[in-house]
Amino acid sequence: MSADLHPITLPNGKKLEVHTHLFINNEFVPGHGPLIETINPATEEVICSVHSADESDVNAAVEAANKCFNDVWRKVAPAEKGRLVNKLADLMERDKEELAALDALDNGKAYTVARDIDITESIGCFRYFAGWADKIHGKTIDTVADRWCYTRHEALGVVGAVIPWNYPIMMAAWKFAPALATGNCVVMKTSELTPLSMLKFAALSKEAGFPAGVVNIITGYGQTTGNFLANHKMVSKMAFTGSTGTGRKIMESSSASNLKKLQLELGGKSAQIVCADADLENAAVMACGGIFNNHGQSCNAGSRILVHSSVFDKFMELFVKATDDIVLGCPFAEDTFQGPQISKAQFDKILNYVKIGQEEGATLYKGGKRWGDKGYFIEPTIFTNCKNSMRIMQEEVFGPFVGIATFETIDEAIAIANDSTYGLAGGVYTSSVDTAIRVSNEIKAGTVWVNTYDIFDQSTPFGGYKQSGFGKELGKYALQEYTQVKVVKFQLLNTGL
């Protein structure tokens, strides 16, 4: 067996071999940084150790990407780029179950959710942007009679990307798909907590036929590997999903290095507003999913629920019922919805917020404790009697943890929803179109869902306001994040004018 491959046995008995080295210039190569143990959060056991990238490895990856872009990739026809992206999607479809199993093992998310949502939607993302590859057009612009002007939308060159641990494949797809379709080469750093599925993805990119240097995937810690990538002067853009604090550091790196283009999708503390005229059964189910999907580990989680006081009791009855239906357990069990939190550090952080909420005077209505005796499982946790000034209503907990408050008027609800440093998403449940439009227009957030929550598709953009970042992922809007516009002006000679 190659030194790069490590055998593992899944809880369902299936055996796999996982890659453990860096993927640079279409080859798996040893890294020169420290080995990193990746942990199964459901069992707290070590899965394997993976290599990490030091500064020399980052430099090698960026140089490979830059050479490929200049010598090969920028000369490949757009239609051929689209074909390769589609081929990659086909291979992901073929190996969907293995990709989902790696995310379930490494991240702790339910295998069925990883397979049917994360991987399926990631495949759709690649196919969507593959269709754009040969449809990125400039314009001709009339100026004066003896001049001709046109624009070109050109690739940036080398894109650096840093993805989080909560959606390892999906967050990578949101960056890789538009970057490749628009003609860029990519160096992506995975989270050190969840590298395994992306190393499998690396092997698929080579099998798909991408030229060496187009796709490069490295692993390492943010303060070292991520920092080396963000500061590299050959990197033309950084695409980042993660915490607001790290986003600020990447902005500083851009300024200090080469003023690289930035796209930041950061934290959130999104509000879900339940109006008096809402369909409460639907609102309860959707709001439950809006906070507890992915174990609450989502930037856009609807972690503040604002309920009109006249329907609070009925809503809570239905919301608790929906919460009681959540199945916690082994990620590989068919009916599991909620697996463990990603790490011991995250587990401890969430339980500390339970303590903070009680100290602030909120009511621990349900949950707030460890579930089981092994793994980083936490019960779905509900606080009521919350004031929006409380830390549990202002700070991102990033877990199965929700604070619920009441309101009397729509104006009050909108004011509470906007009383946050974040602005990633929001939701409103109402039977009134007027109310839905008004609230949607006035909430300061990049996405607002009406009578649903946490629903995505490839054709609609996603991104934040305020300290939730800037730039758009998905949809046609994402294309402009990975291109730059060049203007070409001709002076026409001998026109007789």
Active-site residue identified among 63, 98, 265, 473: 265
167-187 per-residue burial string, b: 16 or more CB within 10 A, e: under 16: bbbbbbbbbbbbbbbbbbbbb
Secondary structure of residue 209 in the 3-state scheme? coil
Secondary structure of residue 265 in the 3-state scheme? strand
> Which structure tokens are listed for 230?
């963000």
Distance from C-alpha of 39 to C-alpha of 191, rounded to nearest angstrom: 12
Distance from C-alpha of 379 to C-alpha of 320, rounded to nearest angstrom: 13
- Is 265 considered catalytic here? yes
The number of beta carbons lying within 10 Å of the beta carbon of residue 414 is 22
| 43: CB partners within 8 A, 6+ apart | 374, 375
Cite the DSSP H helix spans in 306-418. Answer: 312-324, 344-360, 391-394, 410-418
| 123: CB partners within 8 A, 6+ apart | 89, 92, 93, 96, 173
Q: What are phi and psi of 321, to 5 degrees?
A: -60, -45
> Which among 392, 367, 362 is positioned nearest to 378, based on CA atoms?
367
Contact 325, 292 (CB under 8 A): no
225-255 per-residue burial string, b: 16 or more CB within 10 A, e: under 16: bbbbbbbbebbbbbbbbbbbebbebbeebbe
Identify the bridge partners of residue 37 per DSSP, sorted by sequence position.
Answer: 49
279-304 per-residue burial string, b: 16 or more CB within 10 A, e: under 16: ebeebbbbbbbbbbbbbbbbbbbbbb
Distance from C-alpha of 201 to C-alpha of 1, rounded to nearest angstrom: 20
Distance from C-alpha of 77 to C-alpha of 336, rounded to nearest angstrom: 45
> Catalytic positions, please?
265
